[in-house]
Structure 1
């Protein structure tokens, strides 16, 4: 009876895309801009793209900036670390904000609050001020969490990996696009008549303006959920206004979130590291022109056009056939192969060979990012935002640690650091083997013999009193829709007669 009541609440709403019982889209049509599902998709990736452009606008211009500000190798390394460290706690905070206030408000607020730091980069006059503006600009990368949360709120289990992969991948394109955009903008301003030391400063107004405009677009045109914004749903009683302590508790006590945070640190964290070092690496090691180094570096980030989305799609394909176990196996294989290619990249001594290996490495590294967020939405329903924040924050922690250990100062050459980074990827991917869902299984073991179901797993996040008040209804819907994670080739937990509805 309860499930029938839940279904009846959503049947009267009309959407362009087909939806499930949560009004989440069951189809993903990338060329559509229909509200609310596909509009949210395009707003999320474009705004995240803008934040990536701003955060990594400095690296392609470092050869000019370091001469202007008299930066040492340590200063440059510290600034690179600062750019990705700010988002560590920012991503966790963003997860909490999404759980409590929704993606639209949380995302637009952060993007707008960090835009001034991009503008202020133009007046940096020392190593300290350069580090500070990169640090505060880097907070904008926390919008990755709102992007993934938004997609998980708009798209059903069958296509959520694809939606998360494409939104995250196209947003990450900003890290590659800025390698092309900033040298081009710099060159145009320089040709107009500005000196090199003035031209790089003016160039920063372009990403700053782009970022600010994207914040307004998200706020005025976005929508938190298929059925409306959080404020409206809380007021109408359709959505329970959760308690931060409960949401936080169920996130930090779920070990799967911690493992994904670690492994994400060595796919996305590696991607952030490469975005910071690769242009300077090719410029210094192979003596290529600044613009050429920018093009080579851009090719790494631009692979996100298809690699991260491909990872998300692969996750959904594997789940359709093998369930959650297929998602986990695909993630481990792709990330481990990425680690082996990273080791090889540090060993190759020719320019052409390095470019070729870097391109293949980028595909595996970024696909692993997409595969990770094919798993994340299923770790917790109630604490999805914080789990996404923990995982995303793990990516930034991985980037910080990797840069501090291998690319700060002159202890290691850049090529040696890249090789060691590959070894770290391989080692830190192994814990994926320990992720186990009792209703679906893990890499080496099938579902629990106790016959636990999706309801059993997701209802554990709610107390008896909360269930009596009906606060668990969204989790009930999600449990019913996530039976697709059983797959076709994997024996899963039995479904009780009055339990999970068939999908």
Structure 2
């Protein structure tokens, strides 16, 4: 395929066909992951659920996704995306069926917590798509994958309530609707395995030398990497606190402290794995020249994704209530549609961000986009009741364009850092997106909405500063073939 052509509808082209298979796999993971909120009235009625119990389910829905993206990223690099994506679709479908069959709140909570694992599906396709597209097209390809797959969340909102109420009906309609989505995902998991290859024919799938953590290039990067893992455990501790007697009161004090202890033990275990993977480097002080890369690249991209995807998830959650309290006479449905429009732009803006990055350079594009994100959130902070509704919606539209484009621009760079560890790098950056969402939503409970938007603008501005230190991918990265020979992969 030419480096300049992108025949999106040419399914005879293996690269294009693989892209379509992969974004739809991601789409189905998001349908399953976001199947809970649209069915709230039906589920809460079935279990006579309290507001605190519902809040706990929403929290549990995202809790496992942060460590899952790290784990899945490592599995993808070791075993290949074809097997891992198929396995995730089948396993998550089974969990969703179990959730749909739950008879007690405790069962609902358990299976919803485990279903957080499906949110790691995004990481798998990043590695797979990068294997099938050259550097000059990878941003656009990853943008289509991420943007179109993300639409699964909106599709869940459109289809599942309709199925539950108008197709199946009755008190158990929501169960059959979820079960339908699960069965489709499981069948597709089998079809995906039968139809997709990890790499084009004749290409090598490079794997990490050791699994369990990222390989880094020197002792300074090792320390940086360990520190980068701390926020993930801290935000999970915040989730435990939210369900403790000090907040929602759904956990006992003893259980809360047990969770804190488990999180600390997991951090120690992860540190031991990172040390094991990098033990030889720590003894020598560095690695071979062809294996070197700058870990700051990963850190910068992780912050940029926190500022874009993390803020997107938070804003989508708060916008409906913001519109309802700001503009009198707005119905719940109208407010929800206005809020949902922020995420709707994923379909075009995320591929657009990847395309801009391919065409005009990675660092330059990300700088312009993050500046736009900061200005967009500053604009939202100015909205008040005196604004015409159409003007407020226009501000949301403009801001969302930059935010979604930023997500595309981040993952236009991720696959170009170190091919054999693309899954793990995507996992770390993706996890930081979830860390950002949970942090922003937690802060929203302590500050007013204007301060909330100012905080998001400040986060994007910090990201803009960090991006100036991003190294523009140039030339080639080097991987080692099984026979010991060096293989160059073009990244510019």
| TM-score for both structures, normalised by structure 1 | 0.72
Q: Residue 444 of structure 2 aligns with which residue?
A: 406
User: Aligned partners of 2:482 and 2:157: how far apart in 1?
Assistant: 55
Structure 2 matches for 1:95-494, cutoff 5 A?
95-124=73-102, 128-189=106-167, 193-195=169-171, 198-227=172-201, 238=204, 241-245=207-211, 248-250=214-216, 252=225, 254-276=295-317, 278=319, 292=334, 295-319=337-361, 324-344=362-382, 354-407=392-445, 411=446, 415=449, 418-419=452-453, 422-423=456-457, 425-437=459-471, 440=472, 454=475, 458-459=477-478, 469-473=483-487, 476=488, 478=489, 481-482=490-491, 484=492
2:131·2:199 contact (CA, 8 Å) conserved in 1? Answer: yes
Number of aligned residue pairs: give it.
Answer: 416
Q: Residue 499 of structure 1 aligns with which residue?
A: none
User: Aligned partners of 2:102 and 2:339: how far apart in 1?
Assistant: 24
Query: In the TM superposition, what is the alpha-carbon distance from 1:432 to its structure 2 partner?
Result: 2.7
Query: In the TM superposition, what is the alpha-carbon distance from 1:425 to its structure 2 partner?
Result: 3.5
User: Aligned partners of 2:36 and 2:325: how far apart in 1?
Assistant: 17
**2:15 is aligned with 1:30:** no
User: Aligned partners of 2:15 and 2:397: how far apart in 1?
Assistant: 32
Query: In the TM superposition, what is the alpha-carbon distance from 1:175 to its structure 2 partner?
Result: 1.8
User: Aligned partners of 2:82 and 2:17: how far apart in 1?
Assistant: 12
Q: 1:417 to 1:121 in 2, by over 3 A?
A: farther
Long gaps (5+) in structure 1: 1-16, 19-24, 442-452, 485-503
User: Aligned partners of 1:376 and 1:141: how far apart in 2?
Assistant: 18
User: Aligned partners of 1:279 and 1:210: how far apart in 2?
Assistant: 31
Query: In the TM superposition, what is the alpha-carbon distance from 1:434 to its structure 2 partner?
Result: 4.7
SS class of match (2:375):
helix
User: Aligned partners of 1:254 and 1:165: how far apart in 2?
Assistant: 23
Q: 1:177 to 1:467 in 2, by over 3 A?
A: closer
Long gaps (5+) in structure 2: 218-224, 226-293
Q: 1:57 to 1:357 in 2, by over 3 A?
A: farther
Q: 1:326 to 1:356 in 2, by over 3 A?
A: closer
Query: In the TM superposition, what is the alpha-carbon distance from 1:31 to its structure 2 partner?
Result: 0.7
RMSD: 3.3
User: Aligned partners of 2:332 and 2:103: how far apart in 1?
Assistant: 22
User: Aligned partners of 2:462 and 2:194: how far apart in 1?
Assistant: 41
SS class of match (2:135):
coil
SS class of match (1:163):
helix
